[in-house]
Amino acid sequence: MLNISRNPLNKDVDLSKFKSAEQVLNKDYFKQSRRFLTGFAIVCFVMLFLPWTQNISGRGNVTTLTPEQRPQTIQSPIPGSIQQWFVREGDSVRKGDTIMKIAEIKSEYFDPNLVQRTEKQRQAKEFSVESYQGKVKAQNVRISALVNERKLKLEQAQNKILQAYQKVKADSIDLVAAQTNMVIAQTKYNRADSLYQDGFTALKRVEDARVKLQETQAKETSQEAKLLVSRNEVINAKLEISRIRAEYADKISKAESEKFSALSNQLDTEAQVQKLENQVSNYTIRNGLLYVTAPYDGFIQTVLRGGVGQTFKEGEELVGILPAQVDLAVETYVEPIDLPLIHKGEKVRVQFDGWPAIIFSGWPNVSYGTYGAEVVAVERFISPNGKFRVLLKPDPEDHPWPKDVRAGSGAYTMALLEDVPIWFELWRQLNGFPPNYYQPLDSDIAKKK
């Protein structure tokens, strides 16, 4: 009943005596609401003490764990022109498959028989090396022969000197004997002349003594001449030794000079042979570079150079290739204030773009559509976007990542920290405080040890 009249009836009439008024006026219409609100308040109060896992969220993308598994472009190490394509975009290739053939554009490599001609030049130079080696050996033999001949000649000259000395000695003895005979003949002549003067002997005896004296003087003079000749032979023998030494020194020096000249030419030719071998290897390798091959199993992504006949420089990108087998990883970025909370080996939850997920950030075990990951590396220098890069790999203890995930896809990450009550997390969020400083248990144990 509405009390809109200026003369309310309930003041004059007692409505509680009527059954209908008793059922309407005495009924508690908010009893269920109070019960619901009371129960809801009790539930909310209890929930404030439930555990809540603090986390650090971040955005990133899918990449690969090792650099060689990331998408790359194939470059040609030599300049050339496109001659023939063997693949199309999207084709799968195996390691070593030919992708394209290129042609030379430098005039010094136009000769198709360049390798064979250079090989013949190398063989000719090798024959020259062998010739110089033979010449060096021949000179060594010649030098050995000259040394032996010089030795024999010197021995022969030494023998001549000994013979000359013996002859000088014999002539000296003969001269002494001639001088002795001269003294004797002089004495006999003087005695005969004295006797003749005194008249005791004949003139013929004096004349015979004079003749004998003159013969003895002639023999003495002849013997002195022989002695001088013998001594001159000694001097000549010594001069012969000097001449032999000088002569063979000159011959041996010339032979050694020719030997070292041949050796020098040999070494120079060997250097030319090595240079030609290097050229042959370079030409052979360069011929192999005329075919661009796949560095690993993968898929042709993008052809960066077009039609046949188009020229390019060395190092220019020709075609993009994706590896067939990759170890997926996620690179995410965290704020500098959260960096001390990230540790290598810590667990992270990942939600990939395009995969349905129901996420409860504080209860990761209840969430659906997230995948386990583990921190592999934390960048030591800040990235250009003002954050630090963190690399994640699949958690081997969790279920595997989706097979259809591709490198470059987006990802949302949650690094799991310690558990706190919900009321504490609400109080932290309202005050804008960072998460609790978190250290893994393994690091604490290691520090204690």
User: What CATH number does residue 127 fall under?
Assistant: 1.10.287.620
Cβ(345)–Cβ(372) below 8 Å: no
Question: Based on the domain organization, do 228 and 271 belong to the same domain?
Answer: yes
Answer yes or no: is 21 within a domain: no
CATH number at residue 337: 2.40.30.170
Question: Based on the domain organization, do 144 and 277 belong to the same domain?
Answer: yes
CB within 8 Å of 150: residues ≥ 6 apart: 244, 245, 248, 252
Cβ(220)–Cβ(175) below 8 Å: yes
pLDDT for the residue 448: 41
Question: Based on the domain organization, do 358 and 222 belong to the same domain?
Answer: no
Answer whether residue 437 shows pLDDT above 60.
no
Residues comprising the chain, all counted: 449
CATH number at residue 316: 2.40.50.100
Answer whether residue 180 shows pLDDT above 80.
yes
Pick from 410, 143, 126, 374: which is nearest to 271 by CA? 126
pLDDT, tens digit, 9 for 90 and up, residues 106-123: 888 888 888 888 889 888
Per DSSP, the three-state class of 231 is helix
Q: How would residue 8 be classed by pLDDT, with cut points 50, 70 and 90? A: low
Per DSSP, the three-state class of 113 is coil
Q: Which two tokens stand for residue 205?
A: 């005896």
Domain boundary among 322, 344, 372: 322
Average pLDDT over the chain, rounded to whole?
80
Question: Based on the domain organization, do 144 and 258 belong to the same domain?
Answer: yes
Domain boundary among 301, 322, 343: 322
Question: Based on the domain organization, do 158 and 269 belong to the same domain?
Answer: yes
Question: Based on the domain organization, do 128 and 256 belong to the same domain?
Answer: yes
Strand partners, 392: 330, 375
Answer yes or no: is 214 within a domain: yes
Q: Which helix (H) or strand (E) holds 376?
A: strand 371-378
Answer yes or no: is 28 within a domain: no
Q: How would residue 10 be classed by pLDDT, with cut points 50, 70 and 90? A: low
Question: Based on the domain organization, do 185 and 97 belong to the same domain?
Answer: no
User: Which range of residues forms the domain containing residue 349?
Assistant: 49-68+326-448
Number of domains the chain contains:
3
Per cent of the chain over pLDDT 90 is 1
Domain boundary among 255, 284, 313: 284
pLDDT, tens digit, 9 for 90 and up, residues 228-247: 888 888 888 888 888 888 88
Residue 278 has a CB neighbour count (10 Å cut-off) of: 12
Q: How would residue 340 be classed by pLDDT, with cut points 50, 70 and 90? A: confident
DSSP state of 358: B
Question: Based on the domain organization, do 198 and 164 belong to the same domain?
Answer: yes
- Mean pLDDT of the 363-378 span: 75
pLDDT for the residue 402: 84
Q: Given CA atoms 299, 305, 308, 313 in this order, what sign does their dihedral have?
A: negative
Answer yes or no: is 221 within a domain: yes
Per cent of the chain over pLDDT 70 is 84
Answer yes or no: is 13 within a domain: no
Amino acid at 388: F
Answer whether residue 363 shows pLDDT above 60.
no
Question: Based on the domain organization, do 154 and 221 belong to the same domain?
Answer: yes
Interatomic CA distance for residues 138 and 378, integer angstroms: 72
Cross-sheet strand order for the sheet of 72-75: 72-75, 317-323, 298-303, 92-93
Distances in Å between the Cα of 248 and the Cα atoms of 64, 149, 244 are 80, 8, 6
CA atoms within 13 A on the CB side of 8: 8
Q: How would residue 17 be classed by pLDDT, with cut points 50, 70 and 90? A: low
Q: State the residue for tokens 């039609």.
A: 307
pLDDT for the residue 445: 37
Interatomic CA distance for residues 115 and 355, integer angstroms: 58
- Mean pLDDT of the 138-151 span: 89
Question: Based on the domain organization, do 376 and 389 belong to the same domain?
Answer: yes
pLDDT, tens digit, 9 for 90 and up, residues 24-45: 666 666 677 778 888 888 887 7
Answer whether residue 447 shows pLDDT above 50.
no
pLDDT for the residue 443: 47
Answer yes or no: is 15 within a domain: no
pLDDT for the residue 129: 87
Region of 210 (left: φ > 0; alpha: ψ -120 to 50; beta: rest) is: alpha
pLDDT, tens digit, 9 for 90 and up, residues 185-212: 788 777 777 777 777 777 777 777 777 8
Q: How would residue 299 be classed by pLDDT, with cut points 50, 70 and 90? A: confident
Question: Based on the domain organization, do 339 and 434 belong to the same domain?
Answer: yes
Answer whether residue 153 shows pLDDT above 80.
yes
Distances in Å between the Cα of 258 and the Cα atoms of 120, 149, 269 are 28, 19, 16
Answer yes or no: is 425 within a domain: yes
Pick from 325, 347, 326, 332: which is nearest to 395 by CA? 347
Answer whether residue 143 shows pLDDT above 70.
yes
Q: Across 27-41, 177-191, 266-280, which has the greatest mean pLDDT?
A: 266-280
Q: Given CA atoms 316, 317, 319, 323 in this order, what sign does their dihedral have?
A: positive
Pairing of strands 371-378, 347-352: antiparallel
Distances in Å between the Cα of 171 and the Cα atoms of 165, 221, 225, 227 are 10, 12, 9, 5
Q: Which two tokens stand for residue 98?
A: 């030919």
Question: Based on the domain organization, do 96 and 139 belong to the same domain?
Answer: no
pLDDT for the residue 259: 87
pLDDT, tens digit, 9 for 90 and up, residues 49-102: 777 666 677 888 888 888 777 788 888 888 888 888 888 888 889 988 989 898
Pick from 313, 319, 316: which is nearest to 79 by CA? 313
pLDDT for the residue 11: 62
Answer yes or no: is 147 within a domain: yes
Interatomic CA distance for residues 220 and 358, integer angstroms: 146
pLDDT for the residue 365: 62
